[in-house]
Amino acid sequence: MTQVDLPLFAQFPALASLPRAVLCRLPSPVEPLTRLGRDLWIKRDDLNAPLCGGNKVRALEFLLGRIGQGDTVITVGGAGSTHVLATAIHSKRLGAGTVALRWKHDMNPVAESIDSRIASAIASSPVHRTPLTAIATARYRAFSRGAHYLPVGGSLPLGILGHVNAALELAGQIEREEMPMPACVVLPLGTGGTVAGMLLGFMIAGLPVEIVAARVGPRLFSNGRKVFGLALSTSRLIEQVTGERIPRIDPWMLRVVHHVYGGAYGRPLPRANKAAKDLHDATGIQLDETYSAKAWVAALDESRAAKGPVLFWLTFDASCLTS
């Protein structure tokens, strides 16, 4: 899909003036999970880019739009952060270097593998004891060096445009009858950028779909208020660029579920690991213990009570572990 073909630009042609690095291969497919014997569907964002896909690369298309040869990108994330790894990989594709500051937290095997890749991909990637020291140090370094700074998860309105496009992309797939209208869409809730973009995109598309956000981080950072705030900031960005008025999000469109958190960010949830293994055995799709496996459990729970199809949005690309 070319820049002109993006549903976001078809909806708002003025947004095509924003710098964008074409990193994705869109649209990502939607598939039924009939082997599991439930009315479940999956949105395969593990297939949305030729290299290190997933939800992060959608945002990076816009966040790295102004990046050029010899630039430096400074970002932050927990140890084993897919955002940090994706930023390093795609910045390198654009000829830029990456400095990443990380912090310690509960780990799992996939997070350990990603962290090893980060350490080998980035020359400067120190690990701090707390998020606050990592973030403060990163912001200071970016300011003092004149580097490009990306916050945790890349959750800025500019990057969230990539997730607005994702929602409009799904609306087009439903319209083309590639899948039925889902009763709900289930995805993980971390820093909130992906969920915020989906909510805003569904509202713009007039898609009457509830988003079930499976919280995988502490309530202080992963909550509905933050999501709505990010969505509002992104709608204001669209309004500023296009001059069009954007509809506000109805609160009923978002439901945050907390039962899959597991007690700490990155801490494996045994039930989620079992569900992830079952999915892998049936389809070959690999999940990660930090985000997608926990959201997958939430999707299974929703499918038992939903009055219609449930769409699980896969935000993790296992190829990042090897590519």
Closest by CA to 188, choosing from 284, 271, 105, 297, is 297
Assign 3 a pLDDT band (cuts: 50, 70, 90).
Answer: very low
Query: What token pair was written down for 167?
Result: 């929602």
Amino acid at 102: R
Express each pLDDT in 216-266 by its tens digit: 999 999 999 999 999 999 999 999 999 999 988 888 999 999 999 999 999
By C-alpha distance, which of 96, 100, 86, 78 is closest to 52?
A: 86
Distance CA 18, CA 37 (A): 44
Q: What is the mean pLDDT of residues 283-311?
A: 95
> Is the per-residue pLDDT at 37 higher than 70?
no
pLDDT category of residue 307 using cuts at 50, 70 and 90 = confident
User: Which is more confidently placed, 87 or 305?
Assistant: 87
Q: How far is CA 130 from CA 32, 79, 153, 276, in A?
A: 41, 11, 16, 30
Would you state the structure tokens that stand for residue 213, as one six-digit string? 């956000």
Which pLDDT tens digit goes with each residue over 86-117?
999 999 999 999 999 999 899 999 999 999 99
Question: What's the pLDDT score for residue 5?
Answer: 81
pLDDT computed for residue 56 by the predictor: 97
Residues 6+ positions from 31 with CB-CB distance below 8 Å: 41, 42, 44
The pTM of the full predicted model, rounded to 2 decimals, is: 0.96
Please enumerate in sequence order all residues whose Cβ is within 8 A of that of 2, keeping only pairs 6 or more positions apart, or say none: 22
Q: Give the separation between CA 217 and CA 134, rounded to whole angstroms.
A: 17
Q: In the predicted model, what is the mean pLDDT of the chain?
A: 94
**Reported confidence tier of residue 128, pLDDT bands at 50, 70, 90:** confident
Q: Do 73 and 147 touch, CB atoms closer than 8 A?
A: yes
**Mean pLDDT, residues 189-193:** 97
Q: At a CB cut-off of 8 Å and minimum separation 6, what does 316 contact?
A: 46, 54, 82, 286, 287, 288, 291, 292
The pLDDT of residue 4 is: 46
Give the pair of three-digit tokens for residue 299: 């999707």
* Cα dihedral 120, 123, 127, 132 sign: negative
- Count the alpha carbons within 13 Å of 38 in the hemisphere toward its beta carbon: 19
Q: Tell which residue, 119, 194, 134, has the closest CA to residue 160.
A: 194
Comparison of pLDDT for 5 and 24, the residue scoring more = 24
CB contact at 8 A, 74 and 147: yes
- pLDDT (0 to 100) of residue 2: 46
* Calpha distance 85→23 (Å, rounded): 15
Domains and CATH numbers, the chain: 7-57+155-321 (3.40.50.1100), 66-153 (3.40.50.1100)
Chain center to CA of 318: 14
Q: What is the H or E stretch that residue 44 is in?
A: strand 40-44
User: Are 171 and 7 in contact, with CB atoms under 8 Å apart?
Assistant: yes
Interior/surface letters 46-66, b for 16+ CB within 10 angstroms, e for the rest: bbbbeebbbbbbbbbbbbbee
- Pair 321, 304: CB distance under 8 Å: no
CA-wise closest residue to 261 among 106, 103, 147: 106
